[in-house]
Structure 1
Amino acid sequence: MMKRKSLVMAAVAAACMTSFAFATPQTQWEQGQWQIDLGAWNPKAEVDADNFYEPWDIQESSDSKWNFQGGLTYGLTNKWALQYQYYGLKTDANGDTATDGDAQEVNLVYSINKNLAAYAGWNRINNDLTDWSNTNNVAQIGLIARAPLAKNLDIYAKGALGTKNTAIWEAGLGYSVTPDLDISAGYRYVNTELADAGEGGLGLRDDANITYKGFIAGLSYRFGGGHEEEPIPEPVYEPAPEPVAEEPAPAPIVKQDYYLDSIHFGFDEDQPLPAEQAKLDRFVQTAKANPQDTFKLVGNTDGKGTNAYNDDLSKRRVDRVAAYAESQGVPASQMELDYKGKTNPVSTNETAQGRADNRRVDIWQNK
Structure 2
Amino acid sequence: MMKKKVLTLVAAAACVSSFAFATPQTQFEQGQWQIDLGAWNPKAEADSSNWYGGSGDVSSDSKWNFQGGLSYAFTDKLALQYNYYGLKTDYKGERATDGDEHEVNLVYGLNKNFAVFAGWNRINNDLGGWSDTNNVAQIGLIAKAPLAKNFDIYAKGALGTKSTSMWEAGLGYSITPDLDINAGYRYLNTKLADKGDMPGLKDDANISYKGFIAGLSYRFGGGHKAAPVEEAPAPVYEAPAPAPVEAPHVYNDYYLDSIHFGFDEDQPLASEQGKLDNFVSVAKANPTEQFKLTGNTDSKGSDAYNTDLSKRRVDNVAQYAVNNGVPASQMILDYKSFHDPVSSNDTDQGRADNRRVDIWEHK
TM range (shorter): 0.5 to 0.7
Residue aligning to 2:28: 29
Deviates more, 1:189-198 or 1:95-104: 95-104
Structure 2 unaligned runs (5+)? Answer: 225-241, 298-303, 307-311, 328-332, 338-344, 346-350
Aligned counterparts of 1:364 and 1:143: Cα–Cα separation in 2: 41
Aligned partners of 2:49 and 2:55 also within 8 Å: no
Determine the structure 2 residue equivalent to 1:154: 152
Cα distance change of structure 1 residues 270 and 8 upon mapping to structure 2, 3 Å threshold: farther
Partner of 1:325: none
Q: Is the 8 A contact 2:47 2:55 kept in 1?
A: no
Counterpart of 1:140 in structure 2 is: 138
The amino acid across from 1:139 in the alignment is: A
Residue 129 of structure 2 corresponds to 131
User: Which residues of structure 1 form unaligned runs of 5+?
Assistant: 228-238, 246-253, 273-279, 305-309, 319-334, 339-343
Aligned counterpart, 2:62 = 64
Q: Once the 2 structures are TM-superposed, how far is the Cα of residue 98 of structure 1 from its aligned partner? A: 1.1
Distance 1:113 1:175 in 2: 20
Alignment of 1:202-351 (within 5 A): 202-204=200-202, 206-226=203-223, 261=258, 263-268=260-265, 346=335
Q: 1:262 to 1:104 in 2, by over 3 A?
A: same
**How far apart are 1:345 and its partner, in Å?**
8.8
TM-score (structure 1 length as normaliser) = 0.67
In structure 2, relative to structure 1, the CA distance for the partners of 1:297 and 1:171 (3 Å cut) is farther
Identical counterparts, % of pairs: 61
- The correspondence of residues 4-153 of structure 1 with structure 2, limited to 5 A, is 8-53=7-52, 55-56=53-54, 60-94=58-92, 98-153=96-151
TM-score (norm 2): 0.67
Matched, 1:179 2:164: no
Counterpart of 1:363 in structure 2 is 358
- Bigger shift: residues 177-186 or 88-97: 88-97
Give the letter aligned to residue 171 of structure 1. Answer: A
Letter in 1 for 2:335: V
Deviation at 1:214, TM superposition (A): 0.3
Q: Give the Cα–Cα distance (whole angstroms) in 2 for the partners of residues 271 and 185 of structure 1.
A: 36
- Residues 28-81 of structure 1, C-alpha deviation per residue, up to 9 Å, x if partnerless? 11111000000100001111222223x247881000000000000000112110
Cα pair 1:110 1:118 within 8 Å, conserved? yes
Whole-angstrom CA distance in 2 between matches of 1:59 and 1:361: 59
Conserved in 1, the CA contact under 8 Å of 2:138 and 2:159?
yes
Counterpart Cα distance in 1 of 2:124 and 2:181 = 28
**Aligned residue pairs: how many?**
300
Q: Does the 8 A contact of 1:29 with 1:75 survive in 2?
A: yes
Q: Which amino acid aligns with 1:35?
A: Q
Structure 1 residues 230-267: Cα deviation after superposition (integer angstroms, max 9, x where no partner): xxxxxxxxx9999669xxxxxxxx99886765645313
Structure with bigger strand share is 2
Q: CA deviation at 1:203?
A: 2.9
CA RMSD, Structure 1 to Structure 2 (Å)? 4.6
C-alpha deviation, 1:299, in angstroms: 8.7
CA gap 1:56/1:269 in 2 versus in 1, 3 angstroms: farther
User: 2:223 aligns to what SS in structure 1?
Assistant: coil
When residues 242 and 75 of structure 1 are mapped into structure 2, their CA distance, relative to the original with a 3 A threshold, is: same
State the Cα distance separating 1:365 from its structure 2 match: 3.7
Partner SS, residue 50 of structure 1 = helix
Whether the 8 Å contact between 2:22 and 2:215 is mirrored in structure 1 is yes
Q: Is the 8 A contact 1:5 1:97 kept in 2?
A: no
State the AA in 1 paired with 2:144.
Answer: R
